[in-house]
Amino acid sequence: MGQKVHPYSFRIGVINDWKSKWFSQKKYRQNFHQDLKIKKYITEKMSHAAVADITIERSAGQVTVNIHTARPGIIIGRGGNGVDELKNKLKIIIAGPEKLQINIIEIRQPDTFASLVAQNIAAQIEKRIPYKRAIKQAIDRALQARVEGIKITVKGRLNNVDIARTETFSKGKIPLHTIRANIDYCGLPAFTPTAGKIGVRVWIYKGEVFNKDKNRDQIKESNPDKSRHHNRLDSKKKR
């Protein structure tokens, strides 16, 4: 089952968290469809802004939308006009008294996110760039960013041939059955005028996550001074 289950949902509750954080018994269906509409609108409207992930949090009277992007300047716009326009559109989708807050989070290493790598490869295939060149460049950039493994699969009428086929390129290791392995996954289609739809799938392995690592991250977020003290003690013990 490891090859058939989505790597992110397979690890929810262990190393991954839900992308929509809220609970409601009476308005569950309404909130669920609102989340789908919000994510669809942002991905279609900001398709050129390298949006990697969208998380939604709901609390009493407030909706918070976190947009993870490699190009925050495109979303923000000149003088914040882009964010204001996006906020007005999302308020129409929510259509309620809740306050809306949009947080734009910048991604420093876009080559380590599967969604951004898949978007880049799909865009190059649509521009008729050879798929092997695009994939090899993406693998080299990911390995330079110090990921532990990457696998890319393309499927369809590659190079405009009559019979569709599947090709896989990989470097490093991708332990799909290891639940503590931090594996990022994304699958996107590339639409070409002559060869139809070509599927692109990307797996990126970023290393293993243990409970100690998760606890340390929480300590750093809650109290950075104490975390520095613990790091100094750890370094002294190693010496």
Domain annotation covers residue 153: yes
d(CA 50, CA 56): 18
Rounded to 5 degrees, φ, ψ at 223 are: -145, 95
Residues 219 and 197 occupy one common structural domain: no
Residues 100 and 178 occupy one common structural domain: no
- Reported pTM: 0.83
Instruction: Tell me the longest C-alpha to C-alpha distance in the chain.
Output: 64
> Can you read off the two tokens belonging to residue 76?
């923000």
DSSP string, 207-226: EE--HHHHHHHHHHHH-HHH
Is pLDDT at 54 greater than 90 in this prediction?
yes
Query: 117-168 pLDDT, tens per residue?
Result: 999 999 999 999 999 999 999 999 999 999 999 999 999 999 999 999 999 9
Tell whether the torsion through CA atoms of 207, 209, 214 and 215 is positive or negative.
negative
Domain annotation covers residue 1: no
Domain boundaries, position 138: 111-208
Q: Nearest-5° angle of CA 173, CA 177, CA 178?
A: 75
- Residue of 154, 171, 169, 155 lying closest to 205 (CA atoms): 171
Query: 77-110 pLDDT, tens per residue?
Result: 888 899 999 999 999 999 888 899 999 999 999 9
